[in-house]
Homo-oligomer: A and B are copies of this chain.
Amino acid sequence: MKRRDFIKKAGISGLAAGAVAAPAIVKADTKLKWKMVTTWPKNFPVLGTGANLLAESITEMTDGRINVKVYGAGELVPAFEVFDAVSRGTAEMGHGAAYYWKGKIEEAQFFSTVPFGLNSQEMTAWLYHGGGMELWEETYAPFGVLPAAGGNTTVQMAGWFNREINSVEDLNGLKMRIPGLGGEVLKRAGGTPVNLPGGELFTSLKTGAIDATEWIGPYNDLAFGLYKAAKYYYYPGWHEPGTTLEAIINKKAFDGLSKDLQSIVRNACKMVNQEMSTEYTAKNNAALVTLVNDHKVDLRKLPDNAIAKLKVLSEDVVSELAGKNKAAKKIYASYDKFRKQVMAWHEISEKIYFNVRG
């Protein structure tokens, strides 16, 4: 279904759209004050500062006709209530990640990341040029929320471990902070996934309350000082190979904008998607040098048989998610078709290039 048709239909059938009668289109001289609630601590490196950049860019490009103010997690609403706040119009925008809403919309997880799934380049290609965005809009339409890709972590690290992983058996009984689909996969490999907020990782790891934790990648992990609490730093981040962050917009607020302002909001999200992902690319590589040279971090690759086992288990977990409901099945069909095709192309382009470059 084309976006235009979709928006038209959503206008008729959407739950929240019922509230929209004839939206007053904002004139060029109107000044709007918008709130952006986020799932990140205020000014958190890349995640929070990227949300700030999105807000500032909209304010700047509109010359203050939309003035966007950013709220960190808990400032206006708690992190995990960002989606609801945007849905009911408490805030006009939000910044977070789609897998945080899995309790409400299980299939939303496909729009953030999937174990052994698409990397950052592939996710953005699927969303904007492979049909993914239309499905994402359809998924959020009943809540009166418009989604956009608003950043990407790129391939993450597997995490910080105080137990050596020399074979798949070593995952057995491993108590690890790893949320979402990755956590479910670890559970099936015999581990014990736990969920903890970022602020508790260091102490939990240091005191032995957990054996391991994943977080993001060198840049954010260095800032948390995790190297002081764990012996080994494992790669690669099989569980989050290119997590798409999301910018969400209250549909009623968006519909009330003139076309130029709508275009600015949409393009600002695309701009920040690239900015955040390439900021990670640049900053992770510099942070890795610091971790290895200054902090003598012991970098390890997960053993092949552990990765092979996790891959098989991931396929089960993702297939089961796809079977949960009709919408999940439809999204998975699109995602999986794109994944197979892009893997064949990257086999002879991006992947082989990395391998021949050395």
Q: Which residues of A contact B (CB under 8 A)?
A: 28, 57, 60-63, 116, 119-122, 124-126, 128-130, 154-157, 217-218, 235-238, 241, 258-260, 263-264, 267-268, 270-271, 273-275, 277-279, 281-286, 288-289, 299, 301, 304, 307, 311, 338, 341-346, 348-358
Contact = CB atoms under 8 A, between A and B. Distances in A.
A120 B121 contact: yes
Given A63-B259, A264-B61, A350 B341 contact: no
A357 B267 contact: no
Contacts of A122: 281
Contacts of A341: 285-286, 288-289
Tallying the copies of this chain within the complex gives: 2
B344 A282 contact: no
A353 B258 CA distance: 43
Contacts of A343: 357-358
Contact of A357 (B57, B120, B241): B241
Contacts of A241: 353, 357
Interface centre among A28, A270, A282 (most CB of B within 10 A): A282
Contacts of A263: 57, 60-61
Contacts of A259: 60, 63
Contacts of A348: 157, 235-236, 288, 299, 301
